[in-house]
């Protein structure tokens, strides 16, 4: 990393000291100083608890294969900051990152914007300068007061709802759904993947207030998994209102990813209603999903024998989906060593609970971030839940080396930050393929 980029990133990361400050006023003020670049391209806004990144990435890949210039803004990154901002799969260059960030940091001296507010403005400016046709914009936290909610999208998408970030969004699913529904705009269509009746009513009420056409994914599409393969891809079929997509090869697996695929395909019919998106184009977009979007670490199999899986799931619903998927795969009879670390503000006991079905050794460690739960906190919870054996290892690099030495099935899960360090450690060891 060159000194200039390192300096810029250090200055950006230092904005974490402002914490998370819900509200749109700082982002709006900053974007006004930039002549509102977010108004210069068609945006698709995606909020929800789980599946946002996957839905954004699948839609971006389809639009890319359809010949459009497509921006993609997601968070957090896994290895490099540049991963957050892409056009047709290509990460923002260090040069553009440095130049735009310098401008934003200069303008920010009087605004006190947070880290995420600055990075959101950076993405909007970059997409505007590069004249993208569409941009997929993933909300960071919540929706109503998330800094991405300054856009006027052509479509709002809300993925599944679960309990996460309760200190900001509320302690009930209804309160969380209300916050996510805040991205529904007046007269702009909205697509919702949530299917629980009590939550559907919340989305319907807000859509009615905004005179917005509302679609529920499970009412406009059906999906079926034919098989989860040993590389943790799957063969799946989806039927939408206008098309049948039979026997798609999907480089993701699990019923949660089938729902994300249904959401993406349903979104395409709203975005381009007069264009028949054929099976061939969809298959190509799925084949090239990582190339076109950078999506990774979603129940990702890094090695088959013995298997190594990495997954960025970081809340109870995500961990449950991971375990459900493994138990429906060819690996269902295995017991796994699990490297686990999580942020201190998470429901750690509920995250750990599904892992009891598949765990061999629970290996606890702490990512290098202040928000992370300490090993002693994790151990107290795991002991109370009767996990045995428990292995405590202070840092992730040592945990990876220890686990690789055992040569047993391994899962690394619990946090984006954990996966970031684990992937770097694995790459340095160069022992998997």
Give the pLDDT of the chain (433 residues) as one tens digit per residue: 455 888 999 999 888 765 667 789 999 999 999 999 999 999 999 999 999 999 999 999 999 999 999 999 999 999 999 999 999 999 999 999 999 999 999 999 989 999 999 999 999 999 999 999 999 999 998 899 999 999 999 999 999 998 664 555 656 999 999 999 999 999 999 999 999 999 999 999 999 999 999 999 999 999 999 999 999 999 999 999 989 999 999 999 999 999 999 999 999 999 987 666 789 999 999 999 999 999 999 999 999 999 999 999 999 999 999 999 999 999 999 999 999 999 999 999 999 999 999 999 999 999 998 889 999 999 999 999 999 999 999 999 999 999 999 999 999 999 999 999 999 998 777 654 4
Q: What is residue 277's predicted lDDT score, i.e. its pLDDT?
A: 78
Look up tokens 């406009």; give the residue. Answer: 220
Nearest to 400 by CA among 373, 375, 431: 431
Q: Token pair for residue 238?
A: 């989806």
Omega prior to 204 cis, within 30 of 0: no
Q: What is residue 433's predicted lDDT score, i.e. its pLDDT?
A: 44
Q: By the 8 A CB rule, do 194 and 177 touch? A: yes
Q: For the chain, where do the domains classified as CATH 3.40.1190.10 start and end?
A: 3-217
Q: For the chain, where do the domains classified as CATH 3.90.190.20 start and end?
A: 300-429
Q: Are strands 85-87 and 70-73 parallel, antiparallel or unpaired?
A: antiparallel
> What pTM, to 2 d.p., does this model score?
0.94
Q: By the 8 A CB rule, do 32 and 257 touch? A: no
Domain 300-429 in CATH: superfamily? Answer: Mur ligase, C-terminal domain (3.90.190.20)
Q: By the 8 A CB rule, do 274 and 377 touch? A: no
**Alpha-carbon distance 385 to 374, whole Å?**
17
Nearest to 118 by CA among 45, 61, 193, 34: 34
* DSSP β-bridge partners for residue 42: 134
Q: What is residue 1's predicted lDDT score, i.e. its pLDDT?
A: 45
Is the Cα torsion angle 74, 174, 354, 402 positive or negative in sign?
positive
CATH 3.40.50.620 fits 3-217, yes or no: no
**Alpha-carbon distance 35 to 233, whole Å?**
44
Nearest to 343 by CA among 370, 382, 379, 381: 370
Q: What is residue 166's predicted lDDT score, i.e. its pLDDT?
A: 57
List all residues 6 or more positions away from 369 whose beta carbon is below 8 Å from its beta carbon: 343, 417
Q: What is residue 430's predicted lDDT score, i.e. its pLDDT?
A: 61
- The secondary element (H helix, E strand) that includes residue 175 is helix 173-180
């Amino acid at each position: 990393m060159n000194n200039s980029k390192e300096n810029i990133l250090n200055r950006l990361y230092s904005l974490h000291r402002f914490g998370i400050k819900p509200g749109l006023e700082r982002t709006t003020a900053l974007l006004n100083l930039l002549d509102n670049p977010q108004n210069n391209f068609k945006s698709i806004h995606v909020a929800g608890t789980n599946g946002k990144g996957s839905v954004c990435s699948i839609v971006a890949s389809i639009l890319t294969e359809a010949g459009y210039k497509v921006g993609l803004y997601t968070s957090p990154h896994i290895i490099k900051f540049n991963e957050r901002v892409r056009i047709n799969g290509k990460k923002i260059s260090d040069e553009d990152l440095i130049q735009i960030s310098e401008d934003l940091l200069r303008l920010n001296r009087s605004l006190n914007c947070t880290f995420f507010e600055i990075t959101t403005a950076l993405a909007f400016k970059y997409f505007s300068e590069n004249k993208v046709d569409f941009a997929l914009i993933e909300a960071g936290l919540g929706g109503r007061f998330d800094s991405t909610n300054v856009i006027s999208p052509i479509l709002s998408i809300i993925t599944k709802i679960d309990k996460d970030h309760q200190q900001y969004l509320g302690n009930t699913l209804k309160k969380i759904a209300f916050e996510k529904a805040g991205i529904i705009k007046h007269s702009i269509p909205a697509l919702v993947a949530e299917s629980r009746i009590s939550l559907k009513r919340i989305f319907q009420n807000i859509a009615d207030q905004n005179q917005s056409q509302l679609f529920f994914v499970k009412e406009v599409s059906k999906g079926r998994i034919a098989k989860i393969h040993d590389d943790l891809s799957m063969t799946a079929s989806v039927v939408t209102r206008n098309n049948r997509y039979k026997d798609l090869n999907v480089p993701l697996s699990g019923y949660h990813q089938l729902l994300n695929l249904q959401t993406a395909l349903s979104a395409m019919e709203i975005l381009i209603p007069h264009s028949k998106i054929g099976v061939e184009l969809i298959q190509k977009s799925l084949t090239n999903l990582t190339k076109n979007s950078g999506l990774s670490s979603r129940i990702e199999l890094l090695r088959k024998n013995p298997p190594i899986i990495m997954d960025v799931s970081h809340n109870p619903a995500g961990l449950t989906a991971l375990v459900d998927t493994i138990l429906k795969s060819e690996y269902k009879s295995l017991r796994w060593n699990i490297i686990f670390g999580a942020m201190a503000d998470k429901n750690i006991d509920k995250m750990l609970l599904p892992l009891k079905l598949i765990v061999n050794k629970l290996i606890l460690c702490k990512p290098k971030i202040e928000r992370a739960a300490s090993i002693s906190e994790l151990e107290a919870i795991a002991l109370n839940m009767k996990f045995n054996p428990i292995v405590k290892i202070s840092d992730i690099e040592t945990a990876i080396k220890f686990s690789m030495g055992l040569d047993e099935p391994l899962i690394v899960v619990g946090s984006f930050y954990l996966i970031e360090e684990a992937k770097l450690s694995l790459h340095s060891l160069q022992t998997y393929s």
